Amino acid sequence: MYKGTKRIVAGVMMACLLASGAASSGAELPQMTIRAGSEGLLRVGHDAVVIPSFRRFVAVVTAVGPPDKDGRIYSFRVAQIGREGLKAVTADQMRGWRVTMLAGQLFASHFEVRSNTETEITVNPQSGALNGLAERDVLIVEDVAAGPLAPEPDGRRGQGT
């Protein structure tokens, strides 16, 4: 064998042993399953080292709110997905939280929560309108500051923060 090959082989064997030990220990990583059109089911989630330092939950848009008199949309209904999340959301509990779009036309944009109910979120108009939001878009709501509220030149909110 070449010099150092034994160390590589030993490292690979150790990694396999550790992986099989973790798999047989019953340890389960937090995961969620969502339907992605004709592509079937996709499994997504975090690795096991994520420390929940602030409250957050992942949700899917179930309905888009009505536009205002100028045609801008600022509210939507959600359903939490995954096993983790807020157990009971109270009115205006999420005021000031950040909503980040994880899928859809508004991907990577974020908004500040102005008000909420158990299933409906209204964003601050200063953080931009939600025009382009659609049912089944995925988002994360986090108990952190939303960052700059003015739109970037490309129309997205909060890029690079």
| Distance set, CA 139 to CA 3, 62, 101, 157 (Å) | 50, 11, 4, 14
The average confidence (pLDDT) of the chain is 74
How would you class 130 by CB atoms within 10 Å of its CB: exposed for 0-12, middle for 13-18, buried for 19 or more? buried
Q: In the prediction, which pLDDT does 84 show?
A: 63
Does 129 have pLDDT greater than 90?
yes
pTM of model > 0.95: no
Question: What would the pLDDT profile of 10-23 be if each residue is shown by its tens digit?
Answer: 555 565 555 555 44
Taken in order of first residue, the domains within the chain and their CATH numbers are 1-45 (no CATH), 52-142 (2.40.30)
